Amino acid sequence: MKIITKIITLMILFFSLTIYSQNQNRRQNDRNTNNKEISKEDREKIKEKSIENSITKLKIDLDLDELQAIAVKQIITESIRTENIIMKKEENEEDKMKSLQILTENTDSKINSILDKNQKEKFIVIKENLKKRKR
């Protein structure tokens, strides 16, 4: 009788652990699925909102007029589009980093070309602060 009780207890323990593991796997799969469910349209909306937030912040920080804000938005949008193309290329990481560095320099020079002297100084300070935060 004791042997049967032990066997039943072991079987219950085994089935409990199996069910627990399956539930854990199911929860993990649900979390992964939720992260992947962001559609391409939603990603685009998030990117657009991010660009708009950046433009709004630059507009305030640099005291941009409407024409400058529109130009900066076009420059940043084109830069992000080019960045995405660079990241999708089948290159090694070093080449990608060089390309991204060149892109950043080009973007900065384009933005600088539409700023006045006072705005350029503020833009330099903003870039330095971003570099400090990244480190």
- pLDDT tens-digit readout, 4-29: 776 777 677 666 667 766 777 677 76
Q: What is the pLDDT of residues 98-129, one digit of tens each?
A: 888 998 899 999 999 999 999 999 888 888 88
Give the list of residues 6+ apart from residue 107 with CB closer than 8 angstroms, or none.
75, 76, 79
> Alpha-carbon distance 113 to 115, whole Å?
6
At 26, which amino acid appears? Answer: R
The residues, ordered by sequence, that sit 6+ positions from 58 with a Cβ below 8 Å of its Cβ are 64, 69, 72, 126
